[in-house]
Structure 1
Amino acid sequence: MLNVKIQTFENCLYLLDGRFNQLHTLIVDLANVHRPYKILNQGDLPNLKCFSFSHHLGTSLYNELILPLLYRMSNLEQLSLYLRISFRQTFIDGNDLKQNILNRMSRLNQFTFYICSSMIIHNQMILPSTEDIQRTFIHFPINPIVSYVDYFPEAKRCQCHIYSYPSPVDYYDEITNNFPGGLFTNVRHVSLFDEEHPFEHDFFVQIQKSFPFIERLGVFNHKPQNSKPSYQSNTNQSLDVIKYSFLNVLNIINAHDDYIEQFLFDTKTHFQNDIILYIKYECLERVTNNFTRDITRRNCAKIKTLRLDDAGAYFADDPHKSHNYTALERTNKTHVMFYSKVTLDKESVQGLASKRLVAVSKGFHSVFSIF
């Protein structure tokens, strides 16, 4: 058995160029799928019985590269595919899998998959519904299969998720409001994405229940929430407080302020562990009212590392703003890492580093450092 993480599809082809003729199990986690620079050995792989292929950044070369690779595995018995496929003319559905995979592999007896395919919406297109996609799996030999379709008419884009359930993968990307639910005990990394519809509090309740062991969470949504009752203290019992027992990384850089409130308000969210927080400094300052807002103190106290993508631009404009940091309610060190294309000027860097940003407000203090 060989289990590898590799950078390019060409590296994968090198592994299968004949040097491992007796290999029976191959597990590949691939970073990039590009056309190889040269044609390598394309011979059959008769001894390969089990193959797992993961690539979740997205490729448009499914038909050109991935399917031909599978066709070399004539005696394959177990296959796992975890793919994001972009710029399709049609969605990958049950009919596509039967025609291009199952009918070509007579010995295959176990097939698990998670595939998200996307299309550009053109005028006069007939777009399949979730029900249309699900019907293509009626006579599929593997059950149960979950499918759902997302449409983003403003962006002229649509995508289709299909996967065998329960899913064995440890990630689930681009979950939208159409997410059908379920329990995913293997998943550790989750990204939530919707270009045109807001995520309400109940949606986050569902996400936590479906992914109870989530460790890394990213939110991409610039639409404000429609339902925003005023919850001023954690004594208000009308809102379910979402408890994240295993979360240690939260990325809300590309999120509306409402979602920053969703995670920093202690009436909405509770962090069991200290977290690494990716966020824009300006948004963090605004939502926490310059780090003095009572309702954000408890969750801000759980931040062990801040990774700010806009702090360089913010402080370069006015070095004195560096002293505006106020309480994060921590007595130990909180690290702040600046990720910005704007370079801090020398005075700003010295001011931040030498002071270590010791900030005191209302009896609370925190220490920031740059590394």
Structure 2
Amino acid sequence: MYTHILDRFCSKILPRINQKITKLTVDPLSMKRILGAVDYSQLYSLSFVNFESKILLQHLTDKTMLHLLTNQITHITVDINSEKTEISNENEPNIFEFILLHSTCLNDLTFFQKSSKKYLAILSLDVPYENSLSLSLTKLKININTLDDCLYLLNGCLPSLSTLIIHIKKIGRSTSMINNTKELFKLKCFSLSTNRYTFDYDTQVVPLLRRMLNLEELTLFISVIRIKSAYIDGNQLYDKVLNYMPRLNKFIFSIHTKVSNEFSKKQIDLPSNDDIRNSFTKRGIQSIDIFADDKLIKNRGNCHVYSLPYQFNDFLFMNSSFQGGRFDKVRSLSMDDIRPFEYELFQIISQDFPFLRKLSILNNIPEKNKQYHSSTLITFNHLFELDIYCVHNDYVIQFLSDKHTRLPCLTNLIVQYEKLLTVSNNFTNDAARLNSSKIKSLVTYRLFAGSQDYYSYFPSL
């Protein structure tokens, strides 16, 4: 059926419209037929979706494709499906290098992989970082493994680059010999995000940002661990970073600081929420919100400050000091605390994160104010993935019992098998049956033989 439709599309429709086509999206099944059917004299944008890297690399060397890359394509989006491959594919750096070296007109490149296990390792390229990969590229959006990969991209191999949007798997101490002091005069827009904590903000990220003297737009999404030091506030941001960017006119940020005083007798004086807010407003940054611990709890303190309106898809490391807000763009939320999460907090989250799709909770402290008989039902209308593996039983009950929470779209559940047994009373408790009925993926990180009651409890598995 698909082949028949594709045949008709290539033979009947494309010849009528090919001179008007400027953008084209292709997948592995259609690419060869569609690109070989007609000429595309006006085509400037190509998107490759759902390709395995080995297959895409083969297609890129095709004569028709090489002609397009060399002579007319200015915008490329690469979306590699690497989820099926457990081992990182060495073809991905080769694809990145091939596109840059052969696309002589390329201005804009987006390069993603559908896998959170491994991002692109730029340092594995055969091209020395002093050599040019592309003279024409001005905008790059990419997921990379380390900060060294970022330093490579900014060290002269893309001399025309003015916009760099990067998501880094992990920001650690640089292990390369790449210069992190050379001024980056051409860079006008920079976005840096990472979903993991870094210990190296002050020694690695700050020196990098100081190089961007002509930056006009800056986006930061970062979580920082500091030992025997204070939160990142408006004064520190200005003195260490923003003061070096006189042309900056747009600053979007979400900065989470975790400070630790463990193994030290030195006392850390934590500022109040008002003090932190004032440190931003006096620097001209007015639209912000903040939730922070004003005293250490078990030698630890957390501060999360972000610009408003909140612009990111993720909200990381929420703790019980969160007071609420409006987060329509957030699709994924992680919660982590050494204090209990209470019923009221989950109520706030269900209302203030209306389009939440993924929720991860890390908390082994039991709830203090259990409201299992509350008449108010908490509902997460769009939540499809719930990770409650590292939690106290109270939170398993809170989310799986339909007397407390409704999860009409839940299909993916990560939970300890023993806690699941307890809460479901060996898969006989009807209270948790409704929220379990649509689950298609159950991860317990242990092998077990499912009973008849188990499969009755999870009919969609």
Name the TM tier (shorter chain).
0.7 to 0.9
The amino acid of 1:20's aligned partner reads L
Q: Deviating runs (4+, > 6 A) in structure 1?
A: none
The amino acid of 1:304's aligned partner reads K
**TM-aligned CA distance change 1:141 to 1:153, over 3 Å:** closer
Find out whether 1:250 has 2:393 as its counterpart.
no
Which residue number corresponds to residue 176 of structure 2? Answer: 38
1:151 & 1:278 partners in 2: Cα distance?
33
2:301 & 2:162 partners in 1: Cα distance?
38
| Native 8 Å contact 2:362 2:390 kept in 1 | yes
Give the deviation of 1:200 after TM superposition: 1.9
Q: How does 1:11-22 map to 2 (within 5 A)?
A: 11-22=149-160
| Native 8 Å contact 2:386 2:410 kept in 1 | no
Which residue number corresponds to residue 27 of structure 2? Answer: none
The amino acid of 1:272's aligned partner reads P
Deviations 1:317-342 (A, max 9, x none): xxxx753753544544x1xxxxxxxx
Find out whether 1:300 has 2:436 as its counterpart.
yes
**Equivalent position SS for 1:19:** coil
**Equivalent position SS for 1:228:** coil
Give the deviation of 1:11 after TM superposition: 0.6
1:301 & 1:78 partners in 2: Cα distance?
46
The amino acid of 1:219's aligned partner reads I
Which residue number corresponds to residue 23 of structure 1? Answer: 161
Find out whether 1:106 has 2:246 as its counterpart.
yes
The amino acid of 1:117's aligned partner reads T
Find out whether 1:5 has 2:149 as its counterpart.
no
Which residue number corresponds to residue 352 of structure 2? Answer: 210
Q: Which runs of 5+ in 1 are unaligned?
A: 232-237, 316-320, 335-371
Give the deviation of 1:289 after TM superposition: 0.4
Give the deviation of 1:44 after TM superposition: 2.0
Give the deviation of 1:259 after TM superposition: 0.6
**TM-aligned CA distance change 1:323 to 1:227, over 3 Å:** same
1:210 & 1:59 partners in 2: Cα distance?
28
Q: For the aligned residues, what is the CA RMSD?
A: 1.9
Give the deviation of 1:167 after TM superposition: 1.5
**Equivalent position SS for 1:223:** coil
Q: How does 1:1-371 map to 2 (within 5 A)?
A: 1-41=139-179, 42-88=181-227, 89-121=229-261, 122-123=264-265, 124-150=267-293, 153=296, 155-196=298-339, 198-231=340-373, 238-309=374-445, 311-312=446-447, 315=448, 322-323=450-451, 325-326=453-454, 328-332=456-460, 334=461
The amino acid of 2:184's aligned partner reads L
The amino acid of 2:454's aligned partner reads T
Number of residues paired by the alignment?
318
**Equivalent position SS for 1:303:** coil
**Equivalent position SS for 1:132:** helix
More strand by share: 1
| Native 8 Å contact 1:300 1:328 kept in 2 | no
**Equivalent position SS for 2:351:** helix
| Native 8 Å contact 1:276 1:305 kept in 2 | yes
TM-score, length basis structure 1 = 0.81
| Native 8 Å contact 2:230 2:268 kept in 1 | no
1:32 & 1:219 partners in 2: Cα distance?
21
1:245 & 1:23 partners in 2: Cα distance?
42
Give the deviation of 1:59 after TM superposition: 1.1
Higher gyration radius (CA): 2
Deviations 1:72-110 (A, max 9, x none): 211100001111111241110010011112211100011
More helix by share: 2
The amino acid of 1:201's aligned partner reads Y
| Native 8 Å contact 2:273 2:294 kept in 1 | no
Give the deviation of 1:153 after TM superposition: 4.7
The amino acid of 1:288's aligned partner reads S
| Native 8 Å contact 1:290 1:324 kept in 2 | no
The amino acid of 2:291's aligned partner reads Y
Give the deviation of 1:254 after TM superposition: 0.8
Give the deviation of 1:127 after TM superposition: 2.4
**TM-aligned CA distance change 1:330 to 1:282, over 3 Å:** closer
2:405 & 2:350 partners in 1: Cα distance?
11
**TM-aligned CA distance change 1:284 to 1:104, over 3 Å:** same
| Native 8 Å contact 1:14 1:40 kept in 2 | yes
Give the deviation of 1:22 after TM superposition: 0.9
